[in-house]
């Protein structure tokens, strides 16, 4: 196998943050929609469960999927029943973007190290 568990986990983080970014952006887009219920993507739990499987982690990481679910922990923040707090969503979106950027940088660095070891760097 070319990629190890760490690389697969990084790919999972990148995919999870992408899905979460879409969900958070949808929340912001619907901040003024009456009755809209915020959604979120909890990819951290999915990845943690996959990594906890030990020797089966690679297969679990490769098959991991992430989808938005309604966030039942947040009550209505607007009189019309909408549960989106735009300030909170903006902060979560910024934090998610930083997490994705860090994972991409680490994954790229690992790939560059592998390329260098194979003697194909800079071609």
Residues 6+ apart with CB under 8 A from 121: 112, 115
> Highest mean pLDDT range out of 53-57, 58-62, 75-79, 102-106?
102-106
User: Taking residues 78-104, what's their average pLDDT?
Assistant: 95
Q: DSSP code of 54? A: G
Given a cut of 80, whether residue 22 has pLDDT beyond it is yes
Contact 62, 53 (CB under 8 A): no
User: Taking residues 25-45, what's their average pLDDT?
Assistant: 95
22 vs 41: CA distance, rounded Å: 9
Better-predicted residue by pLDDT, 71 or 97: 97
Contact 10, 51 (CB under 8 A): no
pLDDT tens sequence across 109-120: 998 988 898 888
Measure CA 20 to chain center: 5
User: Taking residues 71-85, what's their average pLDDT?
Assistant: 85
Given a cut of 70, whether residue 101 has pLDDT beyond it is yes
What are the domain boundaries of the chain?
5-72+84-118
pTM, full prediction? 0.86
114 vs 120: CA distance, rounded Å: 9
Element at 69 (helix H, strand E) = strand 69-70
Phi first, then psi: give them for residue 76, nearest 5 degrees: -60, 130
């Amino acid at each position: 196998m070319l990629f190890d568990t760490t690389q697969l986990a990084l790919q999972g983080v990148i995919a999870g943050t992408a899905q979460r970014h879409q969900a958070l952006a949808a929340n912001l887009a619907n901040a003024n929609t009456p009755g809209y219920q915020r959604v979120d993507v909890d990819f951290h739990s999915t990845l943690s469960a996959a990594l906890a499987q030990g020797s089966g982690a690679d297969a679990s990481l490769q098959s991991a999927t992430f989808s938005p679910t309604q966030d039942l922990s947040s009550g209505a923040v607007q009189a019309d029943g909408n549960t989106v707090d735009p300030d909170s969503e903006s902060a979560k979106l910024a934090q998610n973007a930083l997490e994705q950027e860090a994972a991409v940088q680490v994954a790229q660095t690992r790939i560059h190290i592998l390329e260098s070891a194979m003697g194909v760097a800079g071609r």
